[in-house]
Structure 1
Amino acid sequence: MDKTPKETALGQSKKAERFTSSGFILAAIGSSVGLGNMWKFPYITGLYGGAAFFLLFVVCLIIVGLPVLLAEMTIGRGGRGNAASSFYNLTGNKQWKWFGFMSVVTAFLIISYYGVVAGWTLQYTIDSVVGSLGQGTNFDQHFVDFAAGGWPVFWQLVVMIVCGVIVGKGISGGIEKFNKILIPGFLAILLVLMVRALTLPGAAAGVDFFLKPDFSVLTGESALIALGHAFFSLSLGMGCMLTYGSYVQKEQSLGKATVAIGVGDLGYALIAGLIIFPTIFSYGIEPQKGVGLAFMALPASFSQMPLGSLFGGLFFLLLAIAALTSAVSILEVPVAYAMHYWKWSRRKAAAIIAALSFALGVPAGLSVSGPLSDWTPFGKSIFDWFDFMTAYVLMPLGGLAVTLFTGYAWKRAGEEAGLTGFWYRAWMFCLRYVAPLLILAVLLYSIFVKPV
């Protein structure tokens, strides 16, 4: 299809917006290795079957996560636009643009409440280092008291300012440089904490729970949760990888990049499990703690550990880095959209979108245990509604649109992805038949069977 003047202008405007090959891999890994890996993955693994759930997650990552990841990056590089315009640029069909716009809305909603959780990690990092987190014994109440005050709003503001500044500096000078500094540091802290966790008395029980599967504990619910998290952990369905894909050089192999990102995502999840489960088993804490595993259960473990303030501080610093690298990629989605459709400069777009995200996220933060916590329309707090609508409705819908677009509507997807022969046929089979059905199953289950 011949390019329209609009597309040509878009391509020219993006010439300066390019990742280097290594920078793209690090930025994409930074996007996927967020709180989903370090906070959500351990607690759902504890709830839904330990090692058996982990293996199920790996299978789902391979058969659904990686094919959809490659599809998103392929659309982004082929369309050379934002999450909304790339669909239109490739087909000229305006209807697809609305599916892309849904991803922009999803990313905006996610960054609004994601900044709240990222702010929690900053406060807990400081509390651990100065020793105030380990002074009491009721860690559940510590979190409730903290979330009820004004500090969450302050730290949320700090997170959005940091993200706005980084995104405002551009791709190579901001996002790529940020990830090149933080991701290696992230890995170093991970390895230190893993060694410490594995050398604790009784750590072997935690390793067994995480790596020795008992398939009798798996249920149909476990399978759907694993599938949903494989999708969530790679930042799919919210436009992040599509937007990042638009900044990828033509010489970059998207197939190799997909494998590298998948291995990085899985590796970080594995190490996270080898930190958290040996630690909690060493101090007699049940792995089924749920969402409070990181902010309520782990502090209890660190309080009993020699040099617990140091290792607790390192752990929450790890969470903070993970949160920030993901938050930057999520913010880039609506920023790229605003730059194109409203012709804003990058700095103006980053500043305005970050400010709006902060304003929208304040009620979500105050609804956890603050003044808005008693307002629970249809049984959910504002924070829970943000999480439910994005993670369990909008993201699966966005991912479904990507699979159908790449599998049926766009005829040159294989050429852009660099796939031929068996690998192209396998990719198309996953996108046309396997992924849509499984994503639809997760969506229907989340909405009609067990809303969470």
Structure 2
Amino acid sequence: MSDSEINHARSDRFSSTGFILAAVGSSVGLGNMWKFPYITGLYGGAAFVLLFIFCILLIGLPILLAELTIGRSGRGSASLSMARLGGSKAWGGVGLLPVTASFLIMAFYSVVAGWTLHYAMLSFSGVLTNGANYEELFAAFVGSWVPICWEFIVTLVTAMIIVRGVSAGIERFNKLLIPALVLLLIVLAIRSMTLEGAGEGLSFFFRPDFSKLTTESALVALGQAFFSLSLGMGTMMTYGAYVDKRQSLGTATLAIGLGNLLYALLAGLIIFPAIFVFGIAPTEGAGLVFVALPAAFAAMPFGSLIGGTFFLLLALAAITSAVSALEVPSAFVMDAFGWSRSTSVLFIAILSFLVGVPCSLSLNQEAEWLIIGGQSLFNGVDFVVTNVLLPLSGLIVTIFAGYIWKGARAEAGLHPGWLRLWLFMLRIVSPVLVLLVLLYYTGVLKL
């Protein structure tokens, strides 16, 4: 595909508002609604929240801006943009890291998104609030073939959105969904905060106990700040290629960061009052959403409606992130092979679905052939992507934008003072912190 053809393909652009909403949609997925609350519970409540906010500013926003500048200047997929700006095909090869990460994320993320759709159906129908053993229910469900049907639905819906293009597909979807998600979050947060006895949960979420902060909690907060903004997966580089030159990237970066933070805080306002009211430990871990919260909803008035709305909200949030995860490898295929958008999306969607099937089946305790190194294929792919590919890609972005590509300063469009601060963070602070996250999550750095 020639440069002129690629530039023509990139003529389908985001509007200013559409771009920010799409980028926020990419970041407001299950990571904030599922992971953020339980790691906040594990690492000290409000003190961890403050640390998370600090890390968003310290590591998240500088790398986010770097990815956007690379994408807008390169006007291509993550791989093509880095090859163009780096002046070498070798950088295009390096750019395959975030593309690969995004593809694998789509493969297992669509499985989890399917879980949320299934639980929404169970809740609205009343099955989830009939006093079931929620731990056994969840184990039986994820170990069956049923999640594959839901995975197919999620993949199909996601593909149908992005095959329509940037403005008519991705932008229009996020313009509808993000405001709706915020409205649903606010309604559920108000309901949760008005439960009798909700004050204890609010106190845990808002009253910091700094004695609980440790080096480990700082690294976890750094990792969550990094992952929650969809950094390292090529999304912001890919979306950046669809951004108009008149768009202020600095303003957009700040808006995306604030939107991501708002979503995480609203999630906490929903979950912590509810779990304290119904005697659920905030340290329940990953089972908080699919095991502990259904028990809380079952004990609430109108629990079926509230629980169904919550899981529907989770599903919609997951699909907004799945849209960006599928777009990244699809954009790469369009650039690399010159295929049309519809052909590229169909190819990647089918491939990611096929990869997701064994990931899902591996959660069946009897599927020993899908157990690798003592853990399921699902958990193994999740570990490699989250703990290796994403931070490694983020580290490469800091080095590329900070030292290799000389046009980053002009493309960022920052005032001199902010530019100096950004370059300092990008060249000195962010690489060190991302490296620490990489070493910690891979087990090299022991605490």
* Same fold? TM cut 0.5: yes
Q: How does 1:156-167 map to 2 (within 5 A)?
A: 156-167=151-162
Distance 1:371 1:274 in 2: 38
Match of 1:420 among 403, 415, 418: 415
Q: How does 1:351-430 map to 2 (within 5 A)?
A: 351-369=346-364, 371-372=366-367, 375-430=370-425
Distance 2:13 2:424 in 1: 31
Distance 1:449 1:413 in 2: 32
Distance 1:13 1:347 in 2: 13
Distance 1:121 1:370 in 2: 21
Report the AA paired with residue 416 of structure 1: E
Q: Which residue of 2 aligns with 1:12?
A: 8
- Deviation by residue 1:277-332 (Cα, 9 ceiling, x = unmatched): 00100101000000001111100000000000000001001100110000001100
Q: How does 1:213-228 map to 2 (within 5 A)?
A: 213-228=208-223
Match of 1:265 among 251, 255, 260: 260
Moved over 4 A (4+): none
Gaps of 5+ in 2: none
- For normalisation by structure 2, the TM-score amounts to 0.98
Aligned residues: 446
Q: Which residue of 1 aligns with 2:283?
A: 288
- Deviation by residue 1:205-228 (Cα, 9 ceiling, x = unmatched): 101111111011111111111000
Quickly say closer, same or farther: Cα 1:112–1:436, change in 2 above 3 A: same
- Deviation by residue 1:8-40 (Cα, 9 ceiling, x = unmatched): 44223321x200111001100100100111111
Q: How does 1:412-451 map to 2 (within 5 A)?
A: 412-449=407-444
Distance 1:373 1:313 in 2: 34
Match of 2:225 among 225, 230, 239: 230
Q: How does 1:46-445 map to 2 (within 5 A)?
A: 46-369=41-364, 371-372=366-367, 375-445=370-440
Cα contact 1:110–1:387 (8 A) shared by 2: yes
SS of the residue corresponding to residue 250 of structure 1 reads coil
- For normalisation by structure 1, the TM-score amounts to 0.97
Q: Which residue of 2 aligns with 1:40?
A: 35
Distance 1:158 1:376 in 2: 26
Distance 1:307 1:400 in 2: 47
Report the AA paired with residue 113 of structure 1: F
Quickly say closer, same or farther: Cα 1:351–1:370, change in 2 above 3 A: farther
Structure 1 residue 168, shift from structure 2 partner: 0.7
Distance 1:200 1:450 in 2: 42
Report the AA paired with residue 348 of structure 2: I
Cα contact 1:366–1:373 (8 A) shared by 2: no
Please provide the CA RMSD for this pair.
Answer: 1.3
Distance 1:13 1:276 in 2: 43
Structure 1 residue 449, shift from structure 2 partner: 4.2
- Deviation by residue 1:27-84 (Cα, 9 ceiling, x = unmatched): 0010010011111111111111111111111010001000000000110000001010
Taking every aligned residue pair, what percent have the same amino acid on both sides?
A: 55
Distance 1:150 1:250 in 2: 47
Q: Compare 48-57 and 89-98 and name the one that shifted more.
A: 89-98
Cα contact 1:149–1:370 (8 A) shared by 2: no
- Deviation by residue 1:251-272 (Cα, 9 ceiling, x = unmatched): 1100000010001000010010
SS of the residue corresponding to residue 289 of structure 1 reads coil
Cα contact 2:188–2:310 (8 A) shared by 1: yes
Quickly say closer, same or farther: Cα 1:77–1:51, change in 2 above 3 A: same
Distance 1:159 1:273 in 2: 26
Distance 1:9 1:117 in 2: 37
Distance 2:367 2:235 in 1: 30
Distance 1:183 1:103 in 2: 25
Distance 1:285 1:252 in 2: 45
Distance 1:419 1:31 in 2: 24
Cα contact 2:72–2:240 (8 A) shared by 1: yes
Cα contact 2:358–2:370 (8 A) shared by 1: no
- Deviation by residue 1:381-429 (Cα, 9 ceiling, x = unmatched): 1111111100100000110111000000111111111013111110001
Distance 1:211 1:113 in 2: 33
Report the AA paired with residue 64 of structure 1: I
Structure 1 residue 145, shift from structure 2 partner: 1.2
SS of the residue corresponding to residue 288 of structure 1 reads coil
Structure 1 residue 6, shift from structure 2 partner: 4.1
Q: Compare 96-105 and 268-277 and name the one that shifted more.
A: 96-105
Report the AA paired with residue 308 of structure 1: G
Cα contact 1:363–1:382 (8 A) shared by 2: yes
Distance 2:230 2:214 in 1: 25
Distance 2:368 2:243 in 1: 43
Distance 1:241 1:130 in 2: 38
Distance 2:92 2:343 in 1: 24
Quickly say closer, same or farther: Cα 1:119–1:81, change in 2 above 3 A: same
Distance 2:138 2:430 in 1: 38
Cα contact 2:131–2:295 (8 A) shared by 1: no
